[in-house]
């Protein structure tokens, strides 16, 4: 008879530690470089519109 039982000694699949930061994000959720550039442009435009966030919040509450 064979000493091997056919079952693996590891019952659960052990997770490998990520080698790179991109390994932390599932492939379907990753952005392309073009999407990242578009996001950064939008972020920069939003930053230009909102110069003083506290002032903008105060204006909103003053209207209420």
- 3-state SS, the chain, equals CCCCCCCCCCCCCCCCCCCCHHHHCCHHHCCCHHHHHHHHHHHHHHHHHCCCHHHHHHHHHHHC
pLDDT, one tens digit for every residue, the chain (64 residues): 555 555 555 555 677 777 888 888 888 999 999 999 999 999 999 988 888 888 888 988 998 8
pLDDT by residue (tens digit) across 41-57? Answer: 999 999 888 888 888 88
Predicted local confidence at residue 50, as pLDDT: 83
Per-residue burial over 12-24, b if 16 or more Cβ lie within 10 Å, else e, is eeeeeeeeeeeee
Contact between 44 and 36 under an 8 Å Cβ cutoff? The reply is no
| For the chain, domain boundaries | 21-63
């Amino acid at each position: 008879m064979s000493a091997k039982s056919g079952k693996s000694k590891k019952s659960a699949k052990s997770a490998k530690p990520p080698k790179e930061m991109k390994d932390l994000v599932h492939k379907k959720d990753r952005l392309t470089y073009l999407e990242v550039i578009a996001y950064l442009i939008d972020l920069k435009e939003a930053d230009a519109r909102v110069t003083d966030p506290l002032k903008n919040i105060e204006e909103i509450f003053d209207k209420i």
